[in-house]
Structure 1
Amino acid sequence: MAIAIDREQADDINNPSLELINYCVEEHEKEIPRLDVLFDYYNGNPHKIDQRPKDSPHDRDEIYVNNAKFVTDMMTGFMIGNPVSYSGSKERNIHPLTDALKKMKIKKHDTEVEKGLSAMGIGYELHYLSVSDGNVNPNVAWIDPRGMILVVDDTVERNSLFAIRPREKQKIDRSKYWEITVYSSFWTIIYKSETKKLSWDKMIAPPKIKENNYNAVPVVEFRNNEEKQGDYEQQLSQIDAYNGLQTDRIKDKKNFVKALMILYGFTLPNERPSEVNGSLVLNAPAKDEGGHAEFVTNTFNESEVQVLADAILDDFHKTTYIPNLNDENFAGTQSGEAMKFKLLGLLLALSVKTSYFEDGIRQRLTLITNILKIQGKNVEADDVEVKFKVNLPFNRKDVIEQIKDSQEFIPLLVSLGWLDDIDDPQEVVEMLNQQKEENMKLQAKALGVQASDSHSDLDDEPSEE
């Protein structure tokens, strides 16, 4: 999570002091326990803050239905299942930018970003230069929020001052040390220390300084929402309650199998059973003595327990906005408009997520274009239009019918944007016009009409001969 400080107290933000670095690292450590809990829930290892994580659910003899992973995987699919598209006008050439994004496999990278945001509510993207085929290309990497610290000023704009990446590393002799990397707008400074808290007497090597060509802090903060919360962070108690209920149900079944049997009216045999078979045969009571047997069990009403489980799940889906696809309301054929109303909560949540995701993408494009300009490729980040298309089922036939019916009062350029797989409606309109012209030429040729650009003897004046 970004740490806000007074700009005047930061001194040289391109070379922050060790005291300032240590302060930021200590403040960041306060957030790590919360992030650990959220990440462990996703990995199927739930625990509370300040508690030691347990082993797998198999070792705990517990049932764990990983609803946290379900929420994150579904949200990631809804958000990035259809990759983010980048387009620009004909007057602006953005091909160098789109080519750079393809080389860095930005679609896969965005999936990692959204997965981290959904689980922990915040994440960081590190920009760096890589060499491939003798060329220097801009590149990006997703950084876990537990391993990156962004320092901003305390103004309303939250301008980035510098970033810190502490990493514990190991030598070949298995001795460990800390590498603290500081990213500023002009320099990248690497410290190697015996301890995480930096001091000059604990340094194991002089700091290394590299030039930063991005002309800005090469770290972008992505947020899931204004509160920087994960998609299931407020539902941890519901996840625990559901898993606790399921665990108790299984234990009740096991206890039922192990129930004690009470025998009434039976007596022990007069002789001790032989050691050969070791079996014990009881003397049955007389008919008039009313002997019988029963189990001592803690009986429960399974239907009532199921009602409680369904209620917990219903509240869970309601508060996470993830639809319960097993719900009978989703069965059968539904119109596109009916589905939209059922998914209204999810669509509203996705609209918030996409707005904050786009903020991070805008900063990403600015950093990439800064490098492209150095390479002589004049591309402006403001010329790029970023489009999100949520990956939700819809009736394409209905949409096409709506486009056809709206031609009299809605321009085709506008209505084509209703289709999720069209990134540039203007390009599609031009393709349609070109196709119509070719069809007209083919039709004219079939009818024997001479094309306007053709020439034959019939065009000439008849000669005297």
Structure 2
Amino acid sequence: METVNGKGQILDGHIFIYPADEERVDIHDLQSFMRRNIQYAQEYKHNMQMYLGNHDILKQQRRMYGPDNRLVANLPHYIVDTYNGFFTGIPPKISLDDEANNKALQQWNDTNSLQDKLSEISKQTDIYGRSFAFVYQDEASNTCVAYASPVEAFMIYDDTVARKPFAFVRYWRNTESGLWCGTIYYADGIENFAGTSVEDTETPNPYSMVPAVEFYGNEERQGVFDNVKTLIDALDKVLSQKANQVEYFDNAYLKILGLDLDEDGDGLPDANLIGNQMIYSPNVDASNADVGFISKPDGDNMQEHIIDRLVSMIYQVSMVANLNDEAFAGNSSGVALQYKLLPMRNMAANKERKFRQALRKLYRVIFSAGKVTKSKEAWQDLVFDFKRNLPINMADEADTLQKLSGIVSKETAFRNSSLIDDPKKEIERMKKEKQEAMEEALKYAPSATDQMKNAGDTNDDEE
């Protein structure tokens, strides 16, 4: 635990704490929190630069002599995109049991592109270790949701055991005045500030709670490649040195020692070799002449070994599977593949539990405005269904659904199938198709009335 100037504290994982008995954050305490978050933002930005491929090796001072290759193995990009695709590649299903509330929920999710925003929140969590989603009302009083990175926002929790949100802060630097400006979201109001002054006017908060939620994959707020950054830097260095060595052999120097190539007496060899990477040292006595290329010891085997070791350790420590590895080639059984993906599945399972909790808090804020569902307490009845994005065998899944028929409910069976996006809608479609089939069968049955048959014939003629 770290104490900042004023009443605030900072826990491990860059978690800001403030006394719960205070009504507002003192402006000087807020400035202290902002300064610390700006310091932490350097680490967040460094992670983003690694994800984008701007690694530290590109910023090092250039060598004065010899080849100077700067190769970047952008494994952070591969690790983040692979893990995020594994976790949210199949969008999670969020539903309610009540039909009317569920219809309103799905419509709101589609209108606000929640699945896309949730995927971006998940990616930010993998890069930075945390991300934020906040709720607001637009000009038409519609409830909307947006996301923010920890580079530009932070959450302040109270000092109780429950660690409830005390305030959410978004900030930016004003380009004209040079002051840090921002907005503080409290449970009972929203304030704007600029520098060390807070505006007198306060905007009411329609949600009666802090309208923001922090998303993270683990309590330590670590990104998915935080533990392997030194290994990635070492891999960049080894690859660059190997490229330098290859270029060195391409530019090898020719040595001509103890051999006089000057016949016209001008002190230069008659052959046009000067300037072509040659070392020339003539000697009248050519009995000990030495002509050849200067070379240094070949460390290719050692370099290949350390490259393989670094790549293996990066995937092993980050717990993200290397899908290009030979272990995933061939006709491995489903159980064998599950074991190979077990570390990544375990990490995703822990992240899913954190995301379920955060999503339930987020929908509690959303429903509190009374614009989405009829019941403000519907957030307690939400059903979340996360599926891992893995290759599927449609024939096996169809066979599994058939075997589950009569053992579990259709909704339960459909919920565990990747072939069906919305179990409730699928059940409604099945009922509708069954009803239409029954009506069609009754229309042409021998026991059908003449009126039904004539109606059917008329429709056929019209068609």
Fold match (TM-score > 0.5): yes
Which residue of structure 1 aligns with residue 142 of structure 2? Answer: 137
Match of 1:192 in 2: 194
| Corresponding residue for residue 245 of structure 1 | 238
- For 2:383 and 2:447, the matched residues in 1 are separated by 44
Cα separation, 1, equivalents of 2:329 and 2:263: 67
Distance of aligned partners of 1:309 and 1:144 in 2 relative to their CA distance in 1, 3 Å threshold: same
**Could you tell me whether the CA contact under 8 Å between 1:42 and 1:69 is conserved in 2?**
yes
What is the rounded CA distance, in whole Å, between the counterparts of 1:167 and 1:322 in structure 2?
A: 35
Q: Which residue of 2 aligns with 1:214?
A: 207
1:45 pairs with 2:54: yes
In 2, the alpha carbon distance for the partners of 1:429 and 1:155 equals 46
In structure 2, the partner of 1:167 is 172
> Which of residues 395, 398, 418 is equivalent to 1:397?
395
- Give the fraction of aligned pairs with identical amino acids, expressed as a percent: 22
Change (3 A) 1:254 1:381: same
In the alignment, structure 1 segments of 5+ residues that lack a partner are 458-465
Question: Partners in 2 of 1:97 and 1:384 — Cα distance?
Answer: 10
Select between 143-152 and 254-263 the one with higher mean Cα deviation: 254-263
Greater mean alpha carbon deviation, residues 246-255 or residues 353-362: 353-362
* Secondary structure of residue in 1 paired with 2:420: coil
Whole-Å Cα distance in 1 between the matches of residues 449 and 289 of structure 2? 111
User: In the superposition, relative to structure 1, how do residues 452 and 331 fare at CA in structure 2: closer, same or farther (>3 Å)?
Assistant: farther
Question: What SS is found at the alignment partner of 2:155?
Answer: strand
> Residue 4 of structure 1 corresponds to which residue in structure 2?
17
Q: Which moved more, 1:104-113 or 1:92-101?
A: 92-101
State whether structure 2 residue 120 is matched by structure 1 residue 112.
yes
Residues 396, 303 of structure 1: CA spacing in aligned structure 2 closer, same or farther, 3 A cutoff?
farther
Mapped to 2, the partners of 1:288 and 1:162 lie a distance apart of 87
CA contact 2:167–2:186 (8 Å) conserved in 1: yes
Count of residue pairs brought into register by the alignment: 431
Identify which range, 154-163 or 430-439, moves more after superposition.
430-439
Cα displacement (A) at 1:234: 0.4
Secondary structure at 1:190 match in 2: strand
Q: Name the CA distance, whole Å, in 2 between partners of 1:69 and 1:91.
A: 41
**CA separation of 1:109 and 1:289: change in aligned 2, threshold 3 A:** same
**1:450 maps to which of 438, 447, 451:** 447
Q: Say yes or no: does 1:262 pair with 2:251.
A: no
1:316-327 aligned at under 5 Å gives the runs 316-327=314-325
> 2:9 maps to which residue?
none
Per-residue deviation, 1:292? 4.7
Q: 1:355 to 1:280 in 2, by over 3 A?
A: closer
Provide the C-alpha distance between the structure 1 equivalents of 2:27 and 2:178, rounded to a whole number of angstroms: 20
Distance 1:349 1:214, change over 3 A: same
What is the aligned partner in structure 2 of residue 148 from structure 1?
153
Bigger Cα displacement from structure 2, 416-425 vs 60-69: 416-425
Contact 1:269/1:283 (<8 A) preserved: no
- Match of 2:117, SS state, is helix
Secondary structure at the residue paired with 1:141? strand
The answer for the alignment partner of 2:224 in structure 1 is 231
What is the correspondence of 1:425-444 to structure 2 with a 5 Å cutoff? 425-436=423-434, 438-439=436-437, 442=440
**What residue number does 2:185 align with?**
183
1:83 and 2:76 are equivalent in the alignment? no
Displacement of 1:165: 2.2
Change in Cα spacing, 1:115 to 1:452, as seen in structure 2 (3 Å) is: farther
Scaled by the length of structure 2, the TM-score of the pair is 0.82
- Distance in 1, Cα, partners of 2:453 & 2:71: 85
Amino acid at match of 2:145: V
Partner of 2:459: none
SS at match of 1:146: coil
Change over 3 Å in CA distance of 1:452–1:284 after alignment to 2: farther
Q: What is the deviation of 1:6?
A: 2.5
Cα distance in 1, alignment partners of residues 373 and 316 from structure 2? 52
Quickly say closer, same or farther: Cα 1:273–1:449, change in 2 above 3 A.
farther
Residue pair 1:167, 1:178 contacting (<8 A) in 2 also: yes
* Aligned residue runs from structure 1 range 277-356, under 5 A: 279=272, 289=287, 291-356=289-354
Comparing 321-330 with 237-246, greater Cα deviation is found at: 321-330
Using a 3 Å threshold, how does the CA distance of structure 1 residues 426 and 376 change in structure 2: closer, same or farther? closer
One-letter code aligned to 1:179: C
Structure-2 change in CA distance of 1:47 and 1:121 (3 Å): same
Question: Structure 1 residue 258: deviation in Å?
Answer: 2.6
Q: In the superposition, relative to structure 1, how do residues 256 and 169 fare at CA in structure 2: closer, same or farther (>3 Å)?
A: same
Equivalent position SS for 2:101: coil
More deviation in 102-111 or 264-273? Answer: 264-273
Superposition deviation, residue 273 in structure 1: 6.1
Secondary structure, counterpart of 2:264 in structure 1: coil
Cα gap change, 1:378 to 1:413, in 2 (>3 Å): closer
| TM alignment of 1:347-386, pairs within 5 A | 347-373=345-371, 377-379=374-376, 380-386=378-384
| TM-score normalised to structure 1 length | 0.81
Judged with a 3 Å threshold, the aligned counterparts in structure 2 of structure 1 residues 335 and 399 are, in CA distance, closer, same or farther, namely farther
- The separation in 2 between residues aligned to 1:367 and 1:228, in whole angstroms, is 23
Residue aligned with 1:145, SS = coil
- Residues 441 and 451 in structure 1, CA contact (< 8 A), matched pair in contact too: no
Distance 1:426 1:206, change over 3 A: closer
Amino acid at match of 1:114: S
Q: Distance in 1 between matches of 2:425 and 2:114?
A: 23
- 1:69 matched to which residue of 2? 77
Q: What's the secondary structure of 1:310's corresponding residue?
A: helix
SS in structure 1 opposite 2:45? helix
- Local SS of the residue matching 1:83: coil
Q: Deviations over 1:329-351 (max 9, x none)?
A: 21233443332222111111111
User: CA–CA distance in 2 between the matches of 1:186 and 1:338?
Assistant: 54
Q: Structure 2 vs 1, CA of residues 229 and 169 (structure 1 numbering), >3 Å: closer, same or farther?
A: same
Distance 1:264 1:419, change over 3 A: same
Q: C-alpha offsets along residues 332-391 of structure 1, whole Å, 9 cap, x if unaligned?
A: 334433322221111111111111122221121111111235x88435212321221222
| CA-to-aligned-CA distance 1:118-169 (integer Å, 9 cap, x gap) | 00101112222212xxx32122222120221211112221111112222101
Which residue of structure 1 lines up, in the alignment, with residue 8 of structure 2?
Answer: none
Task: Between 322-331 and 91-100, report the one with greater CA deviation.
Answer: 91-100
Q: Determine if contact 2:69/2:241 at 8 Å carries over to the other structure.
A: no
Letter of the 1:159 partner, please give it: K
With over 3 angstroms needed to count, the CA separation of the structure-2 counterparts of 1:128 and 1:410, relative to structure 1, is closer
Aligned twin of 1:101: 109
